[in-house]
Structure 1
Amino acid sequence: MSQAPALQIEAAPRAGRRRLSALMRGPFLLYLPASLFLTAFFLVPLALVVWMSVSEPTFGVANYTAFFASHYDLAVLGRTFRTAFIVTIASLVLAYPVAYVAARRGGAVSAFLLSIVALSFWTSFLVRTYAWMVILGARGPVVGLLVALGVSPPPRLLFTTFAATFAMAHMLVPFMVLALYAVMKRIDEVHMRAALSLGARPLRAFLTVYLPQSLPGVLNGATLVFITCLGFYVTPTLIGSPQDKMIAGRIGQEIEELLDFGAASATSMILLAAAVALFVLYDRLFGIEKMWR
Structure 2
Amino acid sequence: MNNSGLLREHRRERFLFLGLAGPAIVLVGVSAMAPVLWILSQSFLTLAGKATLGNYEKVLSSGLTWSSLGVTMTLSLSTLIICIVLGVPLSLALASANRRVANRALILIMLPLWTSILVRTYGWLVLLRREGLINTTLASLGVIDQPLPLVYNFTGTLIGMVHYMLPLFVLPVYAAMRDIDGNVVRAAASLGAGFWRCVATVILPLSSSGMASGSMIVFIYTLGFFITPAVLGGGKVNPIAIRIERTLSTFQDWGSASALGVLLLLLVLIAGCLFVAVRRLAGDRMHHA
Return the TM-score normalized by structure 2: 0.86
1:227 is the counterpart of 2:220: yes
Contact 1:179-1:220 within 8 A present in 2 as well: yes
SS of the equivalent of 1:243 reads: coil
Structure 1 or 2, whichever has the larger Rg, is: 1
Contact 1:84-1:229 within 8 A present in 2 as well: yes
1:84 is the counterpart of 2:72: no
Instruction: Deviation per CA, 1:13-46: give whole Å up to 9, x if none.
Output: xxxxxxxxxx99873343213422441x322222
1:73 is the counterpart of 2:65: yes
Q: Which residue of 1 aligns with 2:7?
A: none
2:201 maps to a residue whose letter is T
Out of 51, 57, 64, the position equivalent to 2:41 is 51
SS of the equivalent of 1:138 reads: coil
1:234 maps to a residue whose letter is I
Q: Which residue of 1 aligns with 2:262?
A: 269
Distance 2:140 2:150 in 1: 16
2:40 maps to a residue whose letter is V
Out of 109, 113, 117, the position equivalent to 1:117 is 109
Shift of 1:173: 0.3
Q: Which residue of 1 aligns with 2:166?
A: 173
Distance 1:266 1:217 in 2: 34
Q: Which residue of 1 aligns with 2:100?
A: 108
1:249 is the counterpart of 2:242: yes
Contact 2:212-2:278 within 8 A present in 1 as well: no
2:153 maps to a residue whose letter is T
Distance 1:156 1:25 in 2: 60
Shift of 1:248: 0.4
Q: For the structure 1 residues 158 and 277, does the alpha-carbon distance in structure 2 shift closer, same or farther, using more than 3 Å as the test? A: same
Q: Which residue of 2 aligns with 1:17?
A: none
Contact 2:55-2:256 within 8 A present in 1 as well: yes
Indicate the larger mover: 230-239 or 116-125: 116-125
Unmatched tracts of structure 1, length 5 or more: 1-22
Q: Which residue of 2 aligns with 1:3?
A: none
Contact 1:163-1:239 within 8 A present in 2 as well: yes
Out of 27, 32, 46, the position equivalent to 1:42 is 32
SS of the equivalent of 2:42 reads: helix
Contact 1:160-1:241 within 8 A present in 2 as well: yes
Out of 205, 208, 218, the position equivalent to 1:212 is 205
2:123 maps to a residue whose letter is A
Identity of aligned residues (%): 30
Distance 2:186 2:164 in 1: 35
1:33 is the counterpart of 2:24: yes
Q: Which residue of 1 aligns with 2:90?
A: 98
How much is the aligned-residue C-alpha RMSD, in angstroms? 2.2
Distance 1:270 1:165 in 2: 23
Shift of 1:287: 4.1
Aligned residues: 267
Distance 2:196 2:16 in 1: 58
Shift of 1:153: 1.6
Out of 134, 145, 169, the position equivalent to 1:142 is 134
Shift of 1:113: 1.4
Instruction: Deviation per CA, 1:186-231: give whole Å up to 9, x if none.
Output: 1112222222222222112221221222222221111110000000
Indicate the larger mover: 168-177 or 132-141: 132-141
SS of the equivalent of 1:222 reads: helix
Return the TM-score normalized by structure 1: 0.85
Contact 1:98-1:113 within 8 A present in 2 as well: no
